[in-house]
């Protein structure tokens, strides 16, 4: 376009010169003196006209160059800006976030800052902060966010009766009481159909809301599922596929917590019998779990920074601190996640485990296996499992006989480029609650 404009300008100049030249050729003859004078006069006029034309075309050319540069800049900006598309997260069921808080004002600010930073819609994902303890600085920190969040305060700040031998665990009793009240508020007072629960010591991934929005329909549709968690207990960077695993999701028999979603239906089941303390271990008991599973990611969408708290940093330095937080946005809502439904998932999962090459711990740690392959380590006893888990950096404890991230007794993880199933033998009869 620019070349054509310059060419037209050049043609215009040439035409003008030709017109002036033709004028001289057709002018009537005159005497030599007069001719000399006329020629000088005409040359002066010609020079004057050419100067005027030169100035005119110079100004015009500069204007055209400016317009061209502006068009280029607009084009560059259009390339740099994200395309304007309607996000699927702007429409859909309301999934409120319930943040449980007490007396850590700095932690609350850190958590809320990320929850608000990544929240795509206030209408779809309202944030409710439930505060216990009556800690004024924490309350003021929450109130500083104005209408962006809703603050509710636990009205019962009375002391709680704790058995003498459990007095040092009093915090767990207070937390269980607070959870029960807060969840009753969410489901009974505010009448929500589902709730995403986080505590005040969690960082979240950029696709935190995307993850829960996409998995909610699966949770609703499959009665063998009872929660969705953003957490992988074995989610250290050297135990997950950081490069290619951002979209991988699994079923697990172990309740992970640490950023999880439950439905109103489940709360109507659990709420009336909610325990006085240790609610998370209570949830993991067979009587509550009832052979149901949760959805969990390969790469965690939450990470705890709560070294200080009721648990006094239990497992923090050795495990929790090292959990890798996903940083690559995954559009789960554009995926077909029906593969997580039990009938389909179990069929594929069992085939994968059985088809995997059986290897030894020495094979795995000795770098003898082809990268990208599927391999199986078999354990037969509790001690055997714990020895293998420790050797690989996995969490080795059990809750109600279920190992962390376990599904049908099998731990799925990624180690030095190998997909590994740490699984029981083929004669496995189910979880043994005594393995705790």
Rounded distance between C-alpha atoms, residue 56 and residue 247, angstroms: 62
CA 50 from chain centre, in angstroms, equals: 67
Give me the residue label for tokens 């309350």: 139
332 near 215, Cβ under 8 Å? yes
Residues sharing a CB contact under 8 Å with residue 376, sequence separation 6 or more, in sequence order:
353, 356, 357, 358, 359, 420, 421, 423
The position carrying tokens 């979240």 is: 204
- 3-state per-residue secondary structure call for 329-387: CCCHHHCCCHHHCHHHHHHHHHHHHHHCEECCHHHHHCCCCCCCCEEEEEECCHHHHHH
Kindly tell me the sign of the dihedral angle through the C-alpha atoms of 189, 194, 197, 203.
Answer: negative
- The catalytic residue among 38, 241, 280, 396 is 280
Residue 346 catalytic?
no
Angstrom distances, CA of residue 402 to CA of 151, 289, 295, 372, 399:
36, 11, 15, 28, 5
Place of tokens 């999934």: 95
Neighbours of 16 (CB within 10 A): 14
Tokens of 20: 């002036």
Cβ atoms of 292 and 400 closer than 8 Å: no
Residues annotated catalytic, as ranges: 280
């Amino acid at each position: 376009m620019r070349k054509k404009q310059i060419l037209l300008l050049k043609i215009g100049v040439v035409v003008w010169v030709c017109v002036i030249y033709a004028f001289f050729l057709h002018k009537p003859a005159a005497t030599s003196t007069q001719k000399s004078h006329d020629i000088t006069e005409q040359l002066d006029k010609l020079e004057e006209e050419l100067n005027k034309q030169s100035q005119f075309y110079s100004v015009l050319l500069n204007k055209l160059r400016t317009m061209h540069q502006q068009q280029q800049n607009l084009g560059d900006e259009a390339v740099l800006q994200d395309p304007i598309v309607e996000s699927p997260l702007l429409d859909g069921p309301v999934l409120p976030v319930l943040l449980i808080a007490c007396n850590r004002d700095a932690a609350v600010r850190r958590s809320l800052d990320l929850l608000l930073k990544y929240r795509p819609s206030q209408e779809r994902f309202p944030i409710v902060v439930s505060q216990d303890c009556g800690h004024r600085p924490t309350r003021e920190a929450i109130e500083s966010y104005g209408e962006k969040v809703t603050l509710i305060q636990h009205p019962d700040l009375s002391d709680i009766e704790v058995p003498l031998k459990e007095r040092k665990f009093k915090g767990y009793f207070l937390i269980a009481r607070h959870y029960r009240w807060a969840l009753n508020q969410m489901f009974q007072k505010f009448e929500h159909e589902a709730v995403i629960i986080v505590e005040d010591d969690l960082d979240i991934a950029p696709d935190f809301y995307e993850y829960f929005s996409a998995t909610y329909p699966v949770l609703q549709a499959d009665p063998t599922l009872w929660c969705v968690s953003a957490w992988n207990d074995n989610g250290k960077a050297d135990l997950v596929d950081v490069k290619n695993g951002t979209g991988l999701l699994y079923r697990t028999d172990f309740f992970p917590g640490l950023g999880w979603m439950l439905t109103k239906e489940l709360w109507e089941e659990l709420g009336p019998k909610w325990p006085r303390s240790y609610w998370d271990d209570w949830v993991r008991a067979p009587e509550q779990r009832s052979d149901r599973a949760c959805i969990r990611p390969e790469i965690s969408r939450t990470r705890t920074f709560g070294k200080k708290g009721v648990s006094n940093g239990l497992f923090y330095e050795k495990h929790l601190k090292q959990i890798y937080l996903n940083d690559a946005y995954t559009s789960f809502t554009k995926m077909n996640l029906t593969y997580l439904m039990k009938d389909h998932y179990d069929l594929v999962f069992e085939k994968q485990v059985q088809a995997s090459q059986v290897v030894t711990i020495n094979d795995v740690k000795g770098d003898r296996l082809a990268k990208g392959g599927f391999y199986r380590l078999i354990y037969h006893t509790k001690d055997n499992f714990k020895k293998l888990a420790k050797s690989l950096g996995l969490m080795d404890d059990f809750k109600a006989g279920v190992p962390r991230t376990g599904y049908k007794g099998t731990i799925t993880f990624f180690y030095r480029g190998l997909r590994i199933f740490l699984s029981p033998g083929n004669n496995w009869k189910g979880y043994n609650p005594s393995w705790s």
